[in-house]
Amino acid sequence: MQPIYLDYNATTPVDPAVAEAMQPYMVTHYGNPSSAHSYGRTAKDAVEHARARAADLLGSTADEVIFTSGGTESNNTVLKGVAYTYRHKGDHIVTSQIEHPAILNPCAFLERQGVRVTYLPVDHMGMVDPDDVRRALTAQTILISIMHANNETGTIQPIAEISRIAREHGVLMHTDAAQSVGKIPASVAELGVDFLSIAGHKVYAPKGIGALYIRAGLPLEPLMHGAGHEGGRRAGTENVSFDVGLGKACEVAKADLARYQRVVGALRDLLEQQLQKHLGDRMVLNGHPQQRLPNTLNVNFRGVVGAELLEKIPELAASTGSACHSGEVALSSVLRAMHVPPEVGMGAVRLSLGRYTTGEDVERTVELVVRAHAGLSSA
């Protein structure tokens, strides 16, 4: 039997409806969207239909969405594009200490080019304080980039409030929404952002496809230069079948959003409640107890190392928030930023549920974790 999969924040399986939608564009409709003949027009129509589906999920217009190779490219496009395009206005970017490496590493690169970056702290629940954002702004600030929801803890950031601060100061606002799209509402109008990044493989589309929302009218130097694909904003022959897949995934996600939040949220709560029932204060929550993704449970199991716990449970696929090397525990940058004590954080495990998680999966996971924890604690 396959292990129980509770690592949906790492990646999701491709939805069967997505795979079905993609298949004709791998075999039958193979034209280049830039070609003027019927093969090209068929491919072009498919790409534009997919773009409209992605825009519909975000509440934007289709011409505000470009397809990319994934969340990493989308993030790099914004950070480097803004730094280059708006360098005449300033050289300062504000972000947070808990961002994904797809934000932190481009920021480190830009720092080597002379850009100044402020990395804001978070509280013990992993939340950015909007007042810290306001205090960090200077006359040279050109961009704020704060993730919508954290990939490790699921904590949802106050993006709408931060966006209002950005607008008050004439600063552009970006959010990496790789973990939130398809799990919670991500309307660009309600969030008030200028840029928003999507990763296809976090929303039941294939790996290697993503999208980027760019508010209409904003000039942005492209990361990829070449022919005039994607309205001149991202060169390279369109990946038609994957574009179609992401479009279908966005359509399914929008239709399923209410059910997803209700059903997956209830299963996550059941998992947390049952683990708490058996382990009591030997389990400590990481992240915000309410303002978090409905599918994410990140906890510290006291008295054990998270990686060792999961090694004892080959029947379960999940992630840890710490690593043990030569007897020393190294916490993730997210847990360090939250000031989780190493002796507690060494037991961090992320259990992330998804569209195909069942009640039986939850019950079995509780049994496996409680048994493995007892075995390690008594060893």
Q: What is the pLDDT of residues 267-314, one digit of tens each?
A: 999 999 999 999 999 999 999 999 999 999 999 999 999 999 999 999
Q: pLDDT tens digits for 151-160? A: 999 999 999 9
Confidence of residue 328 (pLDDT cuts 50, 70, 90): low
Per-domain boundaries in the chain = 4-10+257-378, 16-253
> Are the folds of 4-10+257-378 and 16-253 the same?
no
Q: What is the pLDDT of residue 221?
A: 96
Neighbours of 347 (CB within 10 A): 26
User: What are the C-alpha distances in Å from 9 to residues 248, 276, 326?
Assistant: 20, 22, 28
Amino acid at 136: A
324 is catalytic: yes
The active-site residue, picked from 125, 324, 330, 344, is 324
Q: Residue 48 pLDDT > 90, yes or no?
A: yes
The residue-averaged pLDDT of 163-167 equals: 98
Q: Residue 325 pLDDT > 60, yes or no?
A: no
Chain mean pLDDT for the chain: 96
Amino acid at 3: P
Q: What is the pLDDT of residue 327?
A: 55
Q: Of 97, 5, 7, whose CA–CA distance to 320 is shortest?
A: 7
- Residue 83, CA atoms < 13 Å, CB-side half-sphere: 23
The residue-averaged pLDDT of 183-210 equals: 98
Assigned CATH for 16-253: 3.40.640.10
Fold exhibited by the domain 4-10+257-378: Aspartate Aminotransferase, domain 1 (3.90.1150)
Confidence of residue 324 (pLDDT cuts 50, 70, 90): low
Q: What is the pLDDT of residue 228?
A: 87
Share of the chain above pLDDT 70, in %: 98
Q: What pTM did the predictor assign? A: 0.96
Share of the chain above pLDDT 90, in %: 95
Confidence of residue 59 (pLDDT cuts 50, 70, 90): very high
Question: For residue 78, which phi and psi values (nearest 5 degrees)?
Answer: -70, -55
The residue-averaged pLDDT of 52-80 equals: 98
**Burial tier of 109 (Cβ tally within 10 Å: 0-12, 13-18, 19+):** middle
